[in-house]
Structure 1
Amino acid sequence: MNKRVVVTGLGICAPNGVGLADFYDSMLNGKSGIIFHQELADLGFGCQIAGKPEIPESLKESYFTALQLRGLNSSGIVYGVMAGTDAWMDAGLAKADKDQPDWDSGIIFGTGILGIDKLRESIYLIDDNNARRLGSNSVMQTMASGISAYLGGILGCGNQVTTNSSACATGTEGVIMGMERIRSGKAERMLVGSCNDSGPYIWGGFDAMRILPSNYNDNPQEASRPMSASASGFVPGSGAGAMVLESLDSALKRGSKIYAEVLGGAFNSGGQRGVGSMTAPNSQAVQRCILEALKDAGVEKSEVDVINGHLTATSKDAEEIRNWSEALERTAKDFPFINATKGLVGHCLAASGSVECVAALLQYREGLIFGNQNCQDLHPEILELVDASRIPMKTTSHKPKIVAKASFGFGDVNACVIFNDYKEM
């Protein structure tokens, strides 16, 4: 069995837009969600800027019951539930009846670190001999699968409900995992996505590694500079993205709108061998992942016309472009259009792949390619391989056909998914 898989719903909770309409407007107009955070300055961070979705308390009440909100102290769960629920509604799907799960629908919703503020709160209570004051929801908010568990209960999904975690490759990996489950006939619909907590306890380790830009605290919107010669590190971010994947048969039967088709994908690891390490990708594995994704999708190298890259605004950006160029055997003006979402939202860590997949898929709906931010001074090593016209600075009219989206994470792990403009056969 090899069912066709399509995307029928999208949801987003990003630093520059909560909800599809706000996010699309920000992406269209180059509006950044990166701002200065006084809390980081007070804590002595070198990098005092970040991307963080702004969620008013009144909005949370639309997604959570009063009981669920009591003691809720996990930003990742808030972001994930909002994005996941919105994607479900966008697909025109209803929540399951109270007495019967939806056996055909499942969830794969990933995360990196979840509930770290709740965990800190719990540690202080335990250290003060107040363990009994932890409350009944401390476990649900700090277990890795808390996000999929919350969504599973809200939506009533009765198929596989689980959480994946592969650092920055988490979101893209989840799309492939969901696709494979539907393709094999084990589910009709899978809600896939990923989320990440926000705040100093998430971002502090990266600041200590000195891989964040500390020279843009007074000018945060210019700090995230993918593919730029003056890039000085990634800006930390947070949020969630979500997609409803569905068998084509189910989508057509429901009369659902279709954003795009998921043709195939692949994930692998460089094994931290060769030039690969805990923090650096093995180029051989990256190229192999791209080629395996194309093979799984049945797509030729020449057919890829748009790439949404991982592109973190670090020294690895030029190497990523070289990997794409060598894998696809394409250079100069023959290179696909390429863009980097992180210029406007920062690096949302485990949420990055899903946030960026939503951005990539919105391009199909609107018939355009979002522009790149803060890279007017393109890195010279990139310009040796790619003509500047293939890296649009502003949103450009172009109907995507084959879009390749890749994510690479700590631990030398890689994921690449291939989308296609949906066509009936």
Structure 2
Amino acid sequence: MTKKIVVTGLGTTSPLGGSVGDTWKALLAKESGVRPLEQEWVEKYELPVSFAGQARVPAADVLERVETKRLDPSSQFALIAGREAWADAGAPDIDPERIGVDFATGIGGVWTLLDAWDTLREKGPRRVLPMTVPMLMPNGPSAAVSMEIGARAYSRTVVSACASGTESIVNAYEHLQAGYADIVVAGGSEAAIHPLPIAAFAAMQALSKRNDSPETASRPYDLSRDGFVLGEGGAALVLETEEHALARGARIYAELTGGAVTSDAYHITAPDPAGSGAGRAMRAAIEQAGASISDVTHINAHATSTPVGDIAEFNAIKAIFGEHTANIAISATKASTGHLLGGTGALEAIFTVLALHERLAPPTRNLTEQDPAIELDVVTEPRALGDGPLFALSNSFGFGGHNAVVAFRSY
């Protein structure tokens, strides 16, 4: 028997704000979370890109000093988001062995790893911190969240580049259906605004280089788009069976109707130009929900603002939805937040849930001249989604050909 899975808690720290409320308010106001980098290493290493979507509220302003010293920034963001989501869900008082965590990252503790390498080279092995490995390991964010809420059913980590956060939600759905837990905290985090990833992404021509206008650099679907903007932060959703949520009197934001994961098996960084893998993931998510293509009213698109990526996603959408494509309100929220890599899918899932809960599609910034090859109805101002049942998708696609899509229904 298929169980109904619902969303009962949300949490984030993002380039737009230190909480869900602040982030959503800034998104609807079309604010930008992208700003110039003021760190000395930008000039020191002569980086070709000097801006990013840094967390609006530094983790050190929120966490205790001992927490910042023992956790990589990626885990710090996860802990902040997980705490807010758990509190938002009412901090459920249930058997810890019925609580699970599915948390993701795309890169992991890159700051810890590279700082430790510098320490080893410059000061020798005795100065390398004993907490280095626990801090740099990719499952650090999941471990931090699980220990915070006492989750003993399981704590799992998925690493699939920019699809990671969305894949963690797909996994949580499947684990709840399988009965592994009654409540799961799912999400993702990333803290890769470091000179090495910036230099590497820039070398492969993936980043926008609009150093003179950072706030307008991320331009999904625009004819002048030239790459994505690196972002950081964390996002978490509390998911549980409807039966369990109703029994404890929880507030329900939306229903998670399922999701799907596919692979392109095409190229390590470039998407399949036809978008066939992405399309299969969208179709599978819709079918798992027991919905039809005509039910889809809104999509939070992956839309990174890269020349080839935006086209590939459009091709996938058009191939699946055909004439119904014109009826779907498309939001491309990375224009405001930048690209949080492994955390971006979880953040955009929150935006999708809130769009359904408030019946309001968030706007896309910086679209001044839409690429005529991308015939989508892109939301550029907050738009009411109307009455009646609403059904939405959130898309995420990552290096390696990873595709992940989750589907939500208004509750």
- Tell me if TM exceeds 0.5: yes
Asked if structure 2 preserves the Cα contact closer than 8 Å seen for 1:308 and 1:404, the reply is yes
TM-score of the two chains, using structure 1 as the length reference:
0.90
Asked if structure 2 preserves the Cα contact closer than 8 Å seen for 1:3 and 1:185, the reply is no
Name 1:209's counterpart in structure 2: 204
Name 1:413's counterpart in structure 2: 402
Asked if structure 1 preserves the Cα contact closer than 8 Å seen for 2:228 and 2:305, the reply is yes
Q: CA separation of 1:253/1:166 partners in 2, compared to 1, >3 Å: closer, same or farther? A: same
> Does 1:123 find its partner at 2:117?
yes
The residue correspondences of 1:126-165 to structure 2 (distance < 5 A) are 126-128=120-122, 130-165=124-159
SS at match of 1:329: helix
> Does 1:396 find its partner at 2:386?
no
**Which amino acid letter does the alignment assign opposite residue 251 of structure 2?**
K
- 293, 303, 309: which one aligns with 1:301: 293
SS at match of 2:189: strand
- The separation in 1 between residues aligned to 2:203 and 2:98, in whole angstroms, is 45
Name 1:290's counterpart in structure 2: 282
Aligned-pair distance for 1:58?
5.8
- The separation in 1 between residues aligned to 2:166 and 2:348, in whole angstroms, is 9
Name 1:281's counterpart in structure 2: 271
Aligned residues: 403
Name 1:59's counterpart in structure 2: 61
Aligned-pair distance for 1:32?
0.4
Name 1:21's counterpart in structure 2: 21
Deviations 1:23-48 (A, max 9, x none): 01111100100001133344212221
Name 1:247's counterpart in structure 2: 241
Name 2:346's counterpart in structure 1: 354
Q: CA separation of 1:132/1:372 partners in 2, compared to 1, >3 Å: closer, same or farther? A: same
Name 1:31's counterpart in structure 2: 31
Question: More displaced, 170-179 or 107-116?
Answer: 107-116
Aligned-pair distance for 1:264?
1.4
Asked if structure 2 preserves the Cα contact closer than 8 Å seen for 1:36 and 1:218, the reply is no
- The separation in 1 between residues aligned to 2:355 and 2:341, in whole angstroms, is 22
Name 2:311's counterpart in structure 1: 318
**Which amino acid letter does the alignment assign opposite residue 79 of structure 2?**
V
Asked if structure 2 preserves the Cα contact closer than 8 Å seen for 1:95 and 1:154, the reply is no
- The separation in 2 between residues aligned to 1:50 and 1:128, in whole angstroms, is 29
**Which amino acid letter does the alignment assign opposite residue 68 of structure 1?**
E
Name 1:68's counterpart in structure 2: 67
> Does 1:106 find its partner at 2:100?
yes
Asked if structure 2 preserves the Cα contact closer than 8 Å seen for 1:95 and 1:155, the reply is no
Q: CA separation of 1:234/1:58 partners in 2, compared to 1, >3 Å: closer, same or farther? A: closer
- 368, 380, 403: which one aligns with 1:376: 368
TM-score of the two chains, using structure 2 as the length reference:
0.93
Q: CA separation of 1:296/1:371 partners in 2, compared to 1, >3 Å: closer, same or farther? A: same
- The separation in 2 between residues aligned to 1:330 and 1:184, in whole angstroms, is 36
**Which amino acid letter does the alignment assign opposite residue 200 of structure 1?**
P
Q: CA separation of 1:113/1:319 partners in 2, compared to 1, >3 Å: closer, same or farther? A: closer
SS at match of 2:406: strand
- The separation in 2 between residues aligned to 1:192 and 1:332, in whole angstroms, is 30
SS at match of 2:126: helix
- The separation in 1 between residues aligned to 2:143 and 2:91, in whole angstroms, is 18
Asked if structure 1 preserves the Cα contact closer than 8 Å seen for 2:271 and 2:312, the reply is no
**Which amino acid letter does the alignment assign opposite residue 31 of structure 2?**
K
Asked if structure 1 preserves the Cα contact closer than 8 Å seen for 2:116 and 2:129, the reply is no
Asked if structure 2 preserves the Cα contact closer than 8 Å seen for 1:309 and 1:339, the reply is yes
**Which amino acid letter does the alignment assign opposite residue 6 of structure 1?**
V
- 55, 80, 83: which one aligns with 1:82: 80
Name 1:224's counterpart in structure 2: 218
- The separation in 2 between residues aligned to 1:8 and 1:57, in whole angstroms, is 24
Supply the RMSD in Å over aligned alpha carbons. 1.8
> Does 1:238 find its partner at 2:238?
no
Name 1:49's counterpart in structure 2: 51
Deviations 1:93-139 (A, max 9, x none): 1578xxxx701111011012222222122223333464333333212
- The separation in 1 between residues aligned to 2:71 and 2:264, in whole angstroms, is 36
**Which amino acid letter does the alignment assign opposite residue 359 of structure 1?**
F
SS at match of 1:52: coil
Deviations 1:359-385 (A, max 9, x none): 1111123221111111131111013xx
- 140, 157, 162: which one aligns with 1:168: 162
**Which amino acid letter does the alignment assign opposite residue 151 of structure 1?**
V
Percent identical across equivalent pairs? Answer: 32
**Which amino acid letter does the alignment assign opposite residue 7 of structure 2?**
V
Asked if structure 1 preserves the Cα contact closer than 8 Å seen for 2:103 and 2:188, the reply is yes
- The separation in 2 between residues aligned to 1:132 and 1:189, in whole angstroms, is 43
SS at match of 2:199: helix
- The separation in 1 between residues aligned to 2:190 and 2:262, in whole angstroms, is 22
- The separation in 2 between residues aligned to 1:250 and 1:73, in whole angstroms, is 32
Aligned-pair distance for 1:203?
2.3
Structure 1 stretches of 5 or more lacking a match? none
